Structures are given as C-alpha cells and as structure tokens.
Amino acid sequence: MSAGELDLTHIIKRDFELADVDINTYSPLTLAFIGDGVYEIIIRTFLVGKGNKGVNALAKEKNSLVNAGTQSRIAEFLKEYYTEEEADIYRRGKNAKTANHSKNAAYSDYHRATGLEALFGYLYLTDRVERAVELMKIALDNLEEI
C-alpha cells in the first residue's frame, strides 16, 4: 500500500463512520459471516485475474472452490501453516454451534469450512488481509494434492 492509500476495511470504516470494535467480542459465527465474503472475493479476484472468460466458466470455477467440501479440504491442508493464534480462531469457528448447515455438505465439512471462514474474517477485521491471501495462495498452489 502506497502512502496515502487505504485498504478496503479502512475506507468502509471511515466512510460509514464505524467505530472500532474489540475483535474478541465477536462470535466465531460473526467472524465466519464476514470471512465467507473475504474468502469469496479472494477467489473471484484470482479467477478474474487469470484472464477474461465467460461468466458461466468463471462461475463454474468459482463454485468448485467456494463450497464446504473444498473449503474443508483447504482448511485441513493449511493447518500446518497456521500460527498458534490462527489455529485457535480456526478451532473456535470449526467448533461453533450452528442452527443449520449446508444441504450439500457433510456436517464435518461444513464445520471445517466455517472455521476457515472465521479465520479469514478475523484476518480481515484485524487488517491482515495480506495473510489471508498468503494462506489462499499456499492452498491454490497445492490444490492438486488437496
């Protein structure tokens, strides 16, 4: 980020006049709520950045990466790369009690995906999007073995 440039989080907080909130007051499911969007925007940016394609082709690729099964496998693969703090956030998200889960996913996959989303939400809200992108790059670079 160059001098005078703000990241998306700062721009949103500034323009909507949002107060800083203690990240520790957020439930894991709230972190997963925002993390779902962070995960998806990283994937969509990656796919669009690979070149101009039709919307249907992009959607198909996106859907192969943005689903509980794939996110679960990515979360488990990345466990060896998590810091202690990240592992704790992931674990809290994975173990969070939810009222429902995806009809198209196994219960365990859904919970691991929720843990990954919680981690991405946490990283986003603590101004560490670069770390979320770093983890996603590790996953995408190793997708064939995941």
CATH number at residue 131: 1.10.1520.10
Asked whether residue 129 is assigned to any structural domain, the reply reads: yes
Q: How many domains does the chain have?
A: 1
Asked whether residue 2 is assigned to any structural domain, the reply reads: no
* Average pLDDT, integer, range 38-60: 95
Domain, as residue range, for 140: 27-145
DSSP 135: H
Asked whether residue 8 is assigned to any structural domain, the reply reads: no
Asked whether residue 43 is assigned to any structural domain, the reply reads: yes
Asked whether residue 111 is assigned to any structural domain, the reply reads: yes
Q: Is the pLDDT of residue 4 over 60?
A: no
Active site amino acids? 36
* Average pLDDT, integer, range 99-109: 75
- Enter the pTM of the model: 0.91
Cβ neighbours of residue 88 closer than 8 Å, sequence gap 6 or more = none
Q: What percent of the chain has pLDDT over 70?
A: 92
Residue 85 pLDDT class (50, 70, 90 cuts)? very high
Asked whether residue 103 is assigned to any structural domain, the reply reads: yes
pLDDT per position as a tens digit, 35-46: 999 999 999 999
Asked whether residue 11 is assigned to any structural domain, the reply reads: no
**H helix intervals, 66-128:** 68-78, 84-95, 107-125
DSSP 24: G
Asked whether residue 14 is assigned to any structural domain, the reply reads: no
